[in-house]
Structure 1
Amino acid sequence: MVRFRKMPSIGIEWRRLLSIRGAVIAILAIALAVFAFANAASQLGAKLSAFKPLGPAFYSNRADLVRLEVGIAKRPVAAGEQRFGATAIEMLSWSPLNARALRNYALHREAQGDVAGARKIFLAGDAISRRDGVTQYWLINDAAKRGNVSGALDHFDRALRTMPDATQPMIEQLAVSTILPEARQALTRFVRKDNPWLVRYVQAAVEKLPKVEPLAQLFVDAKQAPDLPALNTSYGQIVDGLVSDQKTALLQRFYPLLPKADRGDIKSIAINEDTFKGGYAPVVWDLGQSSDRGGALIKSGGTVGLELYGLPDTLGVAARKLIIPPASAQRFSWVATDRGSNADSAAFWVLSCLRDVGKAAVGGKATVGGKANGRGKANEVRSTNLLAAKTLRGQMALPKGCDSIMISFEIDGGTGRDPARMVFSSVTVD
């Protein structure tokens, strides 16, 4: 008979070991959870002082930073107090690479009269992060005070690129500075298609500047007007503003830079399809935006004509076109192919002399189809009523001594049911 020796029981030993192992794992898990919580809290900016000895990974001074900044906002002079400086230094000891902490310490140094020291600290913060608005604004003003326009614009550029939603006052300030020649000179390097804030800047300048001349001069100095669809409206406003201000010489330098503009637009008044394919009014034909008067290019029998009209009870300009005539030019001529009139309707070609304000303009006399009548001004020539003329052809003398001439078609729709209208196959200056 075989006898088996009874083995000692190990169940109790294993259970004891497993319980010890479980306790260790549980303790480690709790510790990791606590540290994870502390780390998450520090990332969210929660202030848990018990974790401060563990370092910045487990303790956030963000709440201290916010409290410090709120204090400055409420009482700016507080930046110069020793308590503020001590807190700012403590923030730096915890976050030496924190741009906000550097900025607060820089404000303290400035408040104590150490502008040079503040500048070094602000520049150090700028090297760490370009997204701190206070730092960029301080550096902009500091550079401007020292006459460093180019440096100020560098910080403008950084702020406008990194904080587009919070920098509208900056873009408006920059737009107004375009009046200054030194600012324009420094701004030319930012006139390029890949500049993300160029559109905002140009739109603000058109709106804020009393005259568009400085803005047009900037594009001339930069030797380009970037082809950006978002700028087409602004380009048109600049052209119209230069015409209104009679800045013809600058217009001739600015206009050829524009996308879809031709240098010859300002010297031609031809009626053809190419004339209406691009350009900016009134350097090209301006047919207006009114629903009761205006014009359109039409085709009839293989020929192209310009139809100009005015509805009944309408009085105003249906079309206009700026031209710089050749030095030898003496007359404006037209050929119409059709017309329609109402009772008391009338239509006139009006040639207005554009010159620098303060210079006297010399009016010419109309011939064959026109005359300088009492309704005209001293610097303009008006035709006779084209709707009552015996012929569809005519000509009139150009105003003399003009740098440029605005050719306008004025119409009175009269009384009736249909528009008063004329269709021109040709208009020329020779």
Structure 2
Amino acid sequence: MSRSRPQAADSIVSYDGRLIAAHAASLITPGITAITRKEAEVLSSAALRRDPTAILAAATLGVVAVARSDTAYARRLLAYSQMLSRRNTTTQLWSIEDAVGRGDIGSALRWYDIALRTKPQMSDLLYPVLKQASRDPLIREALVRRLEGKPPWLNSYVRYAAAQKDDPQSTVALFMGLQARGVTIPGSAQTSIINLLLDAGNTDQAWRYYAAVRPGAIRTRARDPQFTALLEAPSQFDWITLNDNSIGASIERTRDGGTFEFSAPASIGGPVLQQVQLLPPGTYRLAGHSSGIAQDARALPYWTLTCRSDGRELGRVVVPNSAQAGGVFAGPLQVSSNCPVQTLTLFAQASDAIGGTSGQINRVVLSAPTQGAR
């Protein structure tokens, strides 16, 4: 009854300090009156006289002292509560608020750390406030130092921050600061923030962060030409396989690195693989190697480069049957000056063959041709 009906529990066992404390704490509500606040104070004092370890009573007295602006007394009471236990939510929240009021960023984050270590469920309340506050460079720097110690809530907060669509720029700054101190950011969080920046039109920042987490990435050509990365959480700058209930598509490890495989039943077709590009204007050459493709001319797979902003097609390269030219395919693509972001996509065309369509792409290279190349 102390949880569901604390007043009734106190009336039944009126000598138990913990029950009196629970009764007092239940009176502290958003619409509390001065009379009720005084009642809570009297009950809390009685609870502590009966049981000096009644944490709820100390915390409630501290809140009452805050309400009447007796900050010094409140700090003594809440320090006493902290000494008894670091699991009291009221004490933790007030300690954070008190540190913030004093402008003591380090202490505020220390209490954040304590609260989230002892009660992870407080993340629902604390993460949004922390994310908003971390827009301030000074707070963000202090947060990086706190997270550098790898508290248990590190990955949880990183994933939360990466999923927030407002102000992804400050999240990137936080991640870069953590990575500079040797803290590993989960791949899913990296992908989330890259995609958020890209979808928000912050293309250059999205690429800078991508290049920081994918050393060696080159902006002017397609990445991972032999499908060796095998990423668990690829971003839009990586190869993304496109599956649905009918079409199967996957990147598989091979003895030589990797290969992309696709298959679709008869009369079914659609996109199966894509990667976002940031190619400057000019003429490019798409070349690669396939295996296992054997279709009529009208059902051959093909690559297309489209403008990401409006879906305008910039070029198309058909992948011939693998028995032709030893499986090699190649063709030109033209990027116009009014299309800074493009999408390279492989389409599997619908086939009338009983077995549908299938095949593998073992290598694909998209780059500007060397001068004089045909």
In the superposition, the TM-score normalised over structure 2's length comes to 0.73
CA distance in structure 2 between the partners assigned to 1:187 and 1:208 by the alignment? 17
The match for 1:312 is 266
Q: Which amino acid aligns with 2:295?
A: S
The match for 1:198 is 154
Q: Which amino acid aligns with 2:142?
A: A
Matched, 1:396 2:329: no
**8 Å contact from structure 1 (residues 216, 238) kept in 2:** yes
CA distance in structure 1 between the partners assigned to 2:187 and 2:206 by the alignment? 16
Distance 1:296 1:180, change over 3 A: same
Distance 1:140 1:319, change over 3 A: same
Selected match of 1:138 from 74, 94, 97 = 94
**8 Å contact from structure 1 (residues 171, 200) kept in 2:** no
Distance 1:104 1:281, change over 3 A: closer
**8 Å contact from structure 2 (residues 89, 115) kept in 1:** yes
Distance 1:398 1:382, change over 3 A: closer
- The structure having more radius of gyration, on CA atoms, is 1
CA distance in structure 1 between the partners assigned to 2:189 and 2:178 by the alignment? 17
Residue 396 of structure 1: how far off its partner (Å):
1.9
The match for 1:383 is 316
CA distance in structure 2 between the partners assigned to 1:120 and 1:87 by the alignment? 18
Q: Which consecutive residues of structure 2, in runs of 5 or more, have no partner in the other structure?
A: 1-9, 369-374
Residue 262 of structure 1: how far off its partner (Å):
3.8
Selected match of 1:412 from 343, 349, 354 = 349
Distance 1:87 1:422, change over 3 A: closer
Matched, 1:285 2:221: no
1:232-254 per-position Cα deviation (integer Å, ceiling 9, x unaligned) = 43333333333433434333443
2:335 aligns to what SS in structure 1? Answer: coil
1:274 aligns to what SS in structure 2? Answer: coil
The match for 1:126 is 82
1:12-41 per-position Cα deviation (integer Å, ceiling 9, x unaligned) = xxxxxxxxxxxxxxxxxxxxxxxxxxxxxx
CA distance in structure 2 between the partners assigned to 1:265 and 1:284 by the alignment? 12
2:28 aligns to what SS in structure 1? Answer: helix
Correspondence list, 1:334-413, <5 A = 334-338=287-291, 339-341=293-295, 345=299, 347-352=301-306, 377-378=311-312, 380-383=313-316, 385-386=318-319, 393-401=329-337, 405-413=342-350
Selected match of 1:245 from 197, 200, 210 = 200
CA distance in structure 1 between the partners assigned to 2:164 and 2:109 by the alignment? 19
Distance 1:256 1:337, change over 3 A: closer
Q: Select between 285-294 and 75-84 the one with higher mean Cα deviation.
A: 75-84
Residue 106 of structure 1: how far off its partner (Å):
1.3
CA distance in structure 2 between the partners assigned to 1:135 and 1:178 by the alignment? 23
Residue 110 of structure 1: how far off its partner (Å):
2.0
Correspondence list, 1:229-268, <5 A = 231-255=186-210, 258=213, 261-264=214-217
CA distance in structure 1 between the partners assigned to 2:14 and 2:76 by the alignment? 32
The match for 1:332 is 285
Q: Which amino acid aligns with 1:331?
A: Y
CA distance in structure 2 between the partners assigned to 1:113 and 1:83 by the alignment? 18
1:131-190 per-position Cα deviation (integer Å, ceiling 9, x unaligned) = 110111123234445554443332221111011245433334434555555553332224
Distance 1:164 1:269, change over 3 A: closer
1:182-241 per-position Cα deviation (integer Å, ceiling 9, x unaligned) = 55333222434732012222333344444644433320132357447xx44333333333
Matched, 1:87 2:43: yes
1:367-413 per-position Cα deviation (integer Å, ceiling 9, x unaligned) = xxxxxxxxx845x513155469x985332234245665432213332
Q: Select between 65-74 and 170-179 the one with higher mean Cα deviation.
A: 170-179
**8 Å contact from structure 1 (residues 307, 421) kept in 2:** yes
CA distance in structure 2 between the partners assigned to 1:112 and 1:196 by the alignment? 37
**8 Å contact from structure 2 (residues 250, 260) kept in 1:** yes
1:234-281 per-position Cα deviation (integer Å, ceiling 9, x unaligned) = 3333333334334343334433665xx544376653533634477734
Distance 1:121 1:345, change over 3 A: same
Q: Which amino acid aligns with 1:407?
A: L
Distance 1:353 1:181, change over 3 A: farther
**8 Å contact from structure 1 (residues 89, 105) kept in 2:** yes
CA distance in structure 2 between the partners assigned to 1:286 and 1:273 by the alignment? 11
Distance 1:172 1:252, change over 3 A: same
Q: Which amino acid aligns with 1:345?
A: A
The match for 1:184 is 140
The match for 2:59 is 103
Q: Which consecutive residues of structure 1, in runs of 5 or more, have no partner in the other structure?
A: 1-44, 50-59, 355-360, 362-375
Distance 1:144 1:163, change over 3 A: same
2:228 aligns to what SS in structure 1? Answer: helix
Distance 1:395 1:146, change over 3 A: farther
Q: Which amino acid aligns with 1:264?
A: A
Q: Which amino acid aligns with 1:348?
A: Y
**8 Å contact from structure 1 (residues 308, 318) kept in 2:** yes
Q: Which amino acid aligns with 2:316?
A: S
Distance 1:253 1:239, change over 3 A: same
Report the aligned-residue RMSD.
4.1
Distance 1:126 1:216, change over 3 A: same
